[in-house]
Amino acid sequence: MSLSIFEIAGSALSAQSQRMNVTASNLANAESAAGPDGQVYRARSVVFEMAPTPAQAAPEAVGGVRVAGVLRSEAPHRLHYEPGHPLADEQGYVALPNVDVVAEMVNMISASRSYQANVEVINTTKNLMARTLTIGQ
Amino acid sequence: MIDPIGREFGFHQMALALRQQRQEILASNIANADTPGYKARDMDFAAALARAQEATMRLGDTHLALTSARHIPGIAHTPHPDALLYRIPSQPRLDGNTVDMDLERVQFADNTLRTQAELTVLSSRLKTMMAALQQ
């Protein structure tokens, strides 16, 4: 077994945990009326792309995964009627983040399942490597 | 292939190397299960092993002979015989990804089991050989 399987599955682990981080940030800020810059928080999402392992033939076939970027959702803010709120506008509406809590939960479960699958790949490969080392014993 | 011991173990070596290559491809599929636009790959193991046994050499790339510094270099790449295939998706996804997680995991488990079988066979062959040497 070569070490590149560990690289591939390891890159997926870090990418999926970054996705979990973003989800956690979205869920934590689902009710934040103002962010550090004074603007209302916007939901973020990560975009994955394939990261080919070095030293292989031109059309890269195998590779890990990396985060290509973090996108900010441009969906409109949620407007909540609360005239007594310090951040309310003239009509009494407060702009709340455009976080879709249900979608974030689904995203979190999906990320955790993918993470588990990659951990399984690492464990299986580790066992195979140990078996390979004991050939002929 | 002059020495009989090398011939004895050459096949196992080829099979294990191919198994490992396939394991890498499947790990890559599982890692990229959420990557938009990623196409799941796999290899035809039986065909790859048959080709490795025939030891058919791949033709080299063809280069144009350059006799002047002002000639434009040209290269014709010969396609690799063990080119990876693309999986046919059973269900399309909107993001263009064709990884079917259940299928990949089953194939991964299958490949692991066959690698273990291969290792067991190779190990017992080695033991047989050692026993014969010690007679």
B64 assigned to some structural domain: no
The rounded Cα B65 to chain-centroid distance in angstroms is 33
pLDDT score for B79: 58
Alpha helices (H) in chain A, listed in sequence order = 4-28, 101-133
In terms of Cα–Cα distance, which of A5, A46, A47, A12 is closest to A26? A46
Q: Do the domain assignments include residue B46? A: yes
- In a domain, residue B69? The reply is no
Task: Tell me if B60 is assigned to some domain.
Answer: no
- Spatial contact of A20 and A108, defined as CB atoms under 8 Å apart: yes
pLDDT value of position A51: 87
Residue B132 belongs to a domain: yes
Partner-chain contact B119 A117, CB within 8 Å: no
Instruction: Catalogue the E-assigned strands of B1-135.
Output: 41-42, 62-63, 75-76, 85-86
Confidence check: pLDDT of A16 > 90: yes
The amino acid at A45: S
Q: What is the pLDDT of residue A97?
A: 92
Kindly state whether A65 is in contact with chain B, defined as any CB-CB distance less than 8 angstroms: yes
Give the tens place of pLDDT for each residue, A75-125: 999 898 989 888 888 899 999 999 999 999 999 999 999 999 999 999 999
State the amino acid at position A3 in one-letter form: L
Range of the domain at B46: 1-32+41-54+80-88+98-135
Q: What is the pLDDT of residues B57-100, one digit of tens each?
A: 556 677 788 888 888 888 776 656 567 889 998 888 899 999 99
Distance CA B46, CA B87 (A): 16
Burial (CB count within 10 angstroms: exposed 0-12, middle 13-18, buried 19+), residue B114: middle
SS3 B80: coil
Length of chain B: 135
- Asked if residue B59 belongs to a domain, the reply is no
Tell me whether residue B25 is in a domain.
yes
Q: Are B34 and A48 in contact (CB < 8 Å)?
A: yes
Chain B: closest CA distance from residue A48 (Å): 5
pTM: 0.82
Q: Where are the beta strands (DSSP E) in A53-122?
A: 63-72, 78-81, 93-96
| Contact between B119 and A131 (Cβ < 8 Å) | yes
- For residue B74, being part of any structural domain is answered with no
Q: How many domains does chain B have?
A: 1
Total length of chain A: 137
Taking contacts as CB-CB distances below 8 angstroms, the residues of chain B near A64 are 28, 31-32
A124 close contact with B: CB closer than 8 A? yes
Q: Are B74 and B64 in contact (CB under 8 A)?
A: yes
